[in-house]
Amino acid sequence: MRFLQSLITTATYLSTSIATFHTTGNGPQSPLLRHGNSNRTVSAILFAELEELARIVDISYCVGLTGLGIIKPFQCLSRCSDFPSFELVTTWLTGPLLSDSCGYIALDHGKQRIIVAFRGTYSIASTVVDLSTVPQEYVPYPGSDDEKDEGAVSEDVSKETLHGIDGHTKRGVIAVEDKQIKCENCTVHMGFHTAWLHTRKRILADLNVQTLLHPDYELNLVGHSSGGVVAALAALDFQGRGWDPIVTTFGEPRMGNKGLVKFVDDRFKLDETQDDDTKMKYRRVTHIDDPVPLLPLTEWGYAMHAGEIYISKPSLSPDIRDLEHCAGDSDQECIAGHDATAAEEDGALSVRKRDLLSSVRDEIHDVVNEPWGIPSRYKLWQLFFAHRDYFWRLGLCVPGGDPGVGGEKYGEVRKGELR
């Protein structure tokens, strides 16, 4: 019954959009997906896209495992069969630490996309403990290493490849020069920054080739957990190369200070309200019980950028009515409302629904100090699950994803109106 209700709700959204498109008397117009600047509703089309991207980033957890991993053309133990139009370009794995990175690049010939998927760390538990108990170091952004163009097309693309490209490439990068705009008074998390620098050396050559060979393909970056921050730093780098990436992250931690937050907001125009939410260039998805988007701590100088889409339902699987667009960098109706360490900008004490970080601290104390290391109150493992629960339970490279844990109804929806 719940699935039927969800399907009816979703179909109603689509029907309204399609009817608006076909019946307007002034000729063809874009479907009216959101009504008014204050509307927090997520459109049915964006909802379906986010669910799909959750499965796409889940596949990245197959990289680095013993066994097959992801093999060409696009096969793995997880959800690769959901994407028959995908063609694997490459995978990468720089190591198991927070300052390392892992993921894959694939071509989607069906929707004409270049997909770059960034996986989270090996241990979600250790990541939460580290980010919430150890003061996180930061460095200036961009640093001197950012200015080195290890992936310049003139060095990485063979003459044969260049000669094989006919006509004009809209990205205009035969001999690219990094024209990254400087971010004044910006600092970035040192570990995440290092992870991107490691990744940069591994993927730029392949991306340069693919953007030249497929100039009409849309560049899509998707990341989960720490992979979300690496995707964000990658997107800033790519913008400096003249590329125009679309970024989607799930459970993204804070990457830097308020200067960097403003820089990200400006570069992706996140302060601008769009009636059509499918045109958003950056979608940062958070979850009501996920503490990771509140880490590293505000008291250490970290902040989060705008573009948030908030899942208010604690358990799997969310319906379209469980998602909402959030306003600005720290909307108190979204995940920022669970951070009691941050006061509102006017200095007044804000009313909080729940201090999610206190739950994390209390449970970590029990893990460290109790004889058996078992949390006694909020159950830290529930927080870890929440960090993985984005439409599906992410992070296990097993057939069909994590078996029996949410998301089954989306398969039926994909067969219907949304695909």
Active site residues: 225, 290, 387
Separation CA 153–CA 137 (nearest Å): 33
CB distance 409 to 317 below 8 Å: yes
Q: How far is CA 292 from the centre of its chain?
A: 13
Burial of 13 (0-12, 13-18, 19+ CB in 10 A): buried
- The gap between the terminal CA atoms of the chain, to the nearest Å, is 22
Separation CA 204–CA 161 (nearest Å): 15
Using alpha carbons, select from 301, 304, 219 the residue that is nearest to residue 254: 304
Residues paired with 285 in a beta bridge: 250, 309
CA angle 43, 230, 172 (to 5 degrees): 80
Burial of 179 (0-12, 13-18, 19+ CB in 10 A): exposed
Residues paired with 221 in a beta bridge: 116, 247
Using alpha carbons, select from 180, 177, 178, 164 the residue that is nearest to residue 212: 164
Separation CA 273–CA 37 (nearest Å): 6
Q: How far is CA 34 from the centre of its chain?
A: 22
Q: How far is CA 56 from the centre of its chain?
A: 11
Separation CA 44–CA 42 (nearest Å): 7
Using alpha carbons, select from 178, 179, 248, 166 the residue that is nearest to residue 215: 166
The residues near 10 (Cβ < 8 Å, ≥ 6 apart) are 44, 47, 48, 320, 413, 417, 418
Residue 45 DSSP label: H
Residues paired with 93 in a beta bridge: 102
**If DSSP codes are grouped into helix, strand and coil, which group holds residue 119?**
coil
Q: Where are the beta strands (DSSP E) in 16-112?
A: 86-93, 102-108
CB distance 246 to 267 below 8 Å: no
Per the listing, tokens 């988007």 go with 293
